[in-house]
């Protein structure tokens, strides 16, 4: 990414970032979600309608978090916010469909997630994404989300330079969603087999950390932001991919799993934090992931913005009310909060300001 255009437009610190988020990003993300909620209300199939509406109700904060990337180029937020909201809404809707599925068919999950790949591949034909399941009539809801992504992408001046890396991250995300939702007895063997094909590229990771990293959409959103810069240079898209994946993406999803441990134990759901042999290992690996994410952020152009993303992630998850009810997670949280004044600033903002307004 050029050091000139976006570097000059991005917010310099936590308070200027949050001011942009509250003045511009939050209302516009909610307006987009309102539009999609209205569309989802018209879905003919009752189950598809329920999952579409539930995903927006329970996961709105995913779109708000993704929308933060538009704060670094407010002049292009009319392109970035509809794109980020549409892709994240596809992701959340499909996650609900697969989590609460009437099917355990990997082919069904793969075909559903083809829509995410089609959304970022404007030239691809669009099949019937529901062809392998009982519930099929969504009134055109999922294809409309795909078309919104494509329309927004057409307005990004440098999308051609980022597209291969966006498609790669979406492909990994789709793989994860297939393997984590199949028959419970098959999940771990399939995930380990998948990891064996990628382990040589990521010797610093454990298999569960790689799997977690593939579950993040942040790298995709950062690449969209980069593509809004007409001066994006050759090689910078690859640098963004390498800095975001796996370190920043991995931290994002491991924090999510960290605070969901009690919930997932109760529901019998897969949680990547439970694959560490003990609490000490978990703490050491989480600290290592935080440090790797901070280093990656600092090495990118206008590193202050990416560093705020990292510290904001740590603060957002560790200030979640779920943490207070889990003594072991509280202990991990205290360790991860050390060494960064920015994390404490975001923690304070999140605890005393953000959650009251959301």
Query: What are 295-354's pLDDT values in tens digits?
Result: 999 999 889 999 999 988 888 888 788 888 898 998 888 888 776 665 656 655 655 554
Number of domains in the chain: 1
List the structure tokens of 39: 């569309």
| Cβ–Cβ under 8 Å, residues 284 and 254 | no
Which CA distances in Å does 233 have to 28, 189, 230, 287, 306?
A: 29, 41, 9, 33, 19
Query: What are 224-264's pLDDT values in tens digits?
Result: 999 999 999 989 999 999 999 999 999 999 999 999 999 88
CATH number of the domain where residue 51 is located? 1.10.600
Most confident of 84-93, 180-189, 266-275: 84-93
Q: Nearest-CA neighbor of 272 among 342, 174, 198, 205?
A: 205
What's 135's DSSP letter? Answer: -
pLDDT for the residue 346: 60
Q: Which of 10-19, 190-199, 269-278 has the lowest mean pLDDT?
A: 10-19
List the structure tokens of 328: 């072991």
List the structure tokens of 57: 């109700």
What's 199's DSSP letter? Answer: G
Has residue 106 got a pLDDT over 70? Answer: yes
Q: What integer is the mean pLDDT of 155-164?
A: 98
Q: What integer is the mean pLDDT of 87-106?
A: 90
Q: How many residues does the chain have?
A: 358
pLDDT for the residue 316: 81
Mean pLDDT value across the chain: 91
pLDDT for the residue 234: 87
pLDDT for the residue 40: 98
Q: What integer is the mean pLDDT of 76-99?
A: 96
Q: For the stretch 235-244, what's the b/e string if a residue is b when 16 or more beta carbons lie within 10 angstroms of its beta carbon?
A: ebbebbbebb
What confidence tier does 37 reach under pLDDT thresholds 50, 70, 90? very high
Of all residues in the chain, what percent carry a pLDDT higher than 90? Answer: 74
pLDDT for the residue 3: 45
What is the extent of the structural domain holding 247? 5-357
């Amino acid at each position: 990414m050029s050091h000139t255009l976006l570097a000059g437009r991005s917010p310099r610190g936590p308070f200027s970032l949050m001011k942009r988020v509250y003045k511009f990003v939050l209302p516009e993300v909610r307006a987009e979600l309102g539009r999609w909620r209205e569309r989802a209300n018209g879905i003919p199939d009752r189950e598809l309608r329920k999952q579409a509406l539930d995903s927006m109700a329970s996961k709105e904060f995913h779109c708000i978090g993704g929308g933060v990337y538009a704060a670094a180029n407010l002049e292009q937020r009319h392109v970035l916010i509809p794109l980020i909201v549409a892709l994240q809404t596809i992701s959340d809707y499909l996650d609900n469909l697969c989590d609460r599925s009437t099917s355990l068919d990997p082919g069904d999950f793969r075909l559903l997630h083809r829509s995410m790949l089609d959304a970022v591949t404007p030239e691809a034909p669009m099949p019937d994404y529901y062809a392998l399941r009982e519930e099929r009539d969504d009134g055109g809801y999922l294809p409309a989300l795909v078309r919104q992504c494509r329309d927004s992408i057409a307005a990004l001046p440098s999308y051609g330079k980022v597209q291969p890396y966006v498609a790669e991250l979406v492909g990994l995300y789709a793989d994860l969603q297939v393997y984590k939702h199949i028959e419970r007895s098959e999940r771990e063997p399939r995930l380990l087999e998948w990891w064996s094909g990628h382990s040589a590229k990521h010797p610093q990771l454990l298999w569960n950390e790689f799997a977690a990293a593939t579950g993040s959409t942040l790298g995709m959103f950062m690449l969209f932001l980069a593509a809004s810069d007409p001066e994006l240079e050759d090689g910078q898209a690859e640098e963004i991919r390498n800095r975001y994946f796996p370190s920043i993406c991995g931290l994002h999803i491991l924090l999510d799993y960290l605070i969901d441990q009690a919930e997932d134990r109760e529901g019998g759901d897969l949680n990547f934090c439970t694959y560490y042999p003990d609490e000490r290992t978990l703490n050491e690996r989480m600290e290592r992931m935080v440090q790797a994410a901070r280093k990656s952020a600092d090495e990118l152009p206008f590193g202050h913005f990416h560093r705020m993303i990292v510290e904001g992630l740590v603060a957002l998850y560790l200030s979640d009310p779920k943490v207070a009810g889990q003594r072991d997670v509280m202990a991990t949280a205290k360790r991860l909060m050390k060494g960064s004044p920015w994390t404490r600033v975001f923690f304070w903002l999140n605890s005393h300001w953000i959650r009251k307004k959301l």
